A = this chain, B = another copy of it.
Amino acid sequence: MKYVKYGKCVRCGRTYPAVPDLTTCECGGILDIVYDYDAIRRDLTKEALAARPERSMWRYRELLPIEDGTEPPPLRVGWSPLYEEGRLAEELGLGRLWVKDDGQNPTASLKDRASAMAVAKAREAGAKVIACSSTGNAASSLAGNAAAAGLETYIFVPSRAPKGKVAQLLTFGATVISVEGSYEETFELSKAAIDRWGWYNRNAAINPYLSEGKKTVALEIMEQLSWQVPDYIAISVGDCCTIAGLWKGLKDLYAIGFIDKLPRLSSAQAEGCCPLNRSIETGEPWHPMEENTLADSIAVGVPRNADKALMAIRESNGLTVSVSDAEILAAQQLLGRTCGVFGEPAGVTGTAGVKKLCRQGLIGKSDTVVSVVTGNGLKDVANAVKACGEPITIPSDMGRLLDAFAQRGIRPE
């Protein structure tokens, strides 16, 4: 890979050649992919980029750890819309606000960016099978992206996984192993199987390439903003790989001179599960927490990529904000009503955080903010039902309709 130097441990600094099946450091630390920014600076200009017809995460080829000859996997991942939301900015009391709707991806979450990268690297490794353990968006995005590329998947889920999510995996043709036990036991069986059969490992905290896929969300945001850096980028945080990827993308752009400063990150977690935010706020190392939140995709009591995420938030002089489940559901309604964007609970947690920071006066009229919605609300309709109340229920009768409107103070014009 012309622009990749090596993988480097974020803990001990040891470096490793960037082979396709790279995993973690011997010391247990997570690796970071290091680029030759001077070479990229020389070869990639904003003008060249603007002229590329490709509208997907693969338009940023020089900044991605794939070989020249590697064909991107088939599904169209990335280049999700960035909407300026003037009315919502007004309502919250912000200078300007944009929403990046990453629910607009093939399997409806930001995780498609990582899974598409996993499929690309698995092909380079000559693998025919990819495996992971997950109940959520990582699993469905892997199953979908691998199916499109003709690769087999083995996916390990704890038996408590909702039937709907399992159905999505089975529809994509994955071999799904439902493990009677905890998530930890599920992970252990998947690890043993991966070791035994040598499957390609799609686990964002083990495989260092996956963050590189996720970082494309940052590259797109900045290009869509014509390289004008906002004051803040807000995102929900669970196992920490996404915020780490976001930060990596921003630093890449700074390193090659495409942006002249870095935004501050806003790390949003659920109050019932916020080990990372606690660590930042107390200055202590992070401690495992219970997983008490309905935002299942960020209910991660033991974040597997905490090192990179803590570094990202600190380096960016970031904010932390933890929100209740009620605040998360309120943000889901707010985004739906004012933006026409339907996000899953974990997907809208970043926006719930923005709203709270506005109320607390920590951000306001002089600030510009991008809020990333990381997954589609159709993934979890049950929680939306809880949040949104009841329709007006009447027989087909105009008199009854008039009464119902009057009772509710609805005055149609």
Q: Is A401 an interface residue (CB 8 A)?
A: yes
Chain B residues with Cβ below 8 Å from A181 are: 395-396
B394, A172: Cβ atoms closer than 8 Å = no
Residue from B74, B147, B192, B393 in contact with A337 in the complex, judged by beta carbons closer than 8 Å: B147
**Distance to closest chain B CB from A125 (angstroms):** 14
Which parts of A174-195 form the interface with B (CB within 8 Å)?
A: 175-181, 185-186, 188-189, 192-193
- Residues of B within 8 Å of A362, CB to CB, are none
Q: Which residues of B contact A159 (CB under 8 A)?
A: 393
Residues of A bordering B, CB below 8 Å: 55, 74-76, 79, 81, 83, 87, 101, 104, 106-108, 128-129, 143-150, 154, 157, 159, 163-164, 166-173, 175-181, 185-186, 188-189, 192-193, 196-197, 199, 332-333, 336-342, 376-379, 381-382, 384-385, 387-389, 391-398, 401, 404, 410, 412-413
List 10 other contacts, CB 8 Å, given A74-B340, A171-B333, A171-B388: A81-B106, A83-B148, A107-B340, A108-B108, A108-B378, A170-B391, A173-B337, A177-B392, A179-B394, A189-B397
Find chain B residues with CB under 8 A from A340 CB.
74-75, 106-107, 143-149, 172
- Closest B residue to A177 by CB, please name it: B392
For the complex of A and B, the 4 pairs showing the least CB-CB separation, nearest first, are A148-B340, A173-B337, A171-B336, A176-B391
Please judge, given known A-B contacts A157-B391, A172-B336, whether A379 and B378 are in contact too, CB under 8 Å.
Answer: yes
Chain B contacts for A163, CB-based, 8 A: 385
A-B contact pairs, 16 of them (CB 8 A): A108-B378, A129-B412, A147-B337, A147-B340, A167-B384, A167-B385, A168-B378, A169-B391, A172-B342, A173-B333, A179-B396, A180-B394, A180-B396, A181-B396, A193-B398, A199-B412
Q: Evaluate whether A413 and B128 lie within 8 angstroms (CB atoms) in the complex, with A170-B388, A176-B391, A189-B396 already known.
A: yes
| B175 close to A410 (CB less than 8 A) | yes
Chain B nearest CB, measured from A149 CB (Å): 8
Partner of A74, one of B83, B106, B378: B83
Say yes or no: A391-B171 contact (C-beta < 8 A), given A147-B337, A197-B412: no
Contact check, B106 vs A391: say whether CB atoms are below 8 A apart: no
B177 touches A391 (CB 8 A): yes
Q: How far is the CB of A398 from chain B (nearest CB, A)?
A: 5
Q: How many copies of the polypeptide does the oligomer hold? A: 2
Task: Tell me if B395 and A147 are in contact (CB < 8 A).
Answer: no
Q: Give A171 Cβ to nearest chain B Cβ, in Å.
A: 4
Known A147-B337, A147-B340, A150-B87; contact A168-B398, beta-carbon cutoff 8 A: no
CA distance A161 to B160 in the complex (A): 28
Q: How far is the CB of A294 from chain B (nearest CB, A)?
A: 14
Report Cα–Cα, A81/B75, bound state, in Å: 8
CB of A52 to closest CB in B, whole Å: 11
Inter-chain contact A392/B337, CB cutoff 8 Å: no
CB of A327, distance to nearest CB on chain B (Å): 16
Closest chain B residue to A379 by CB distance? B378
Query: Shortest distance in angstroms between A347's beta carbon and chain B's nearest beta carbon?
Result: 12
Residue contact B413 to A173, C-beta cutoff 8 Å: no
- Nearest B residue to A127 via CB reads B413
For A145, A177, A180, A340, the residue with the greatest tally of chain B CB atoms inside 10 Å of its CB is: A340
Of B76, B173, B176, which contacts A81 at CB under 8 A?
B76
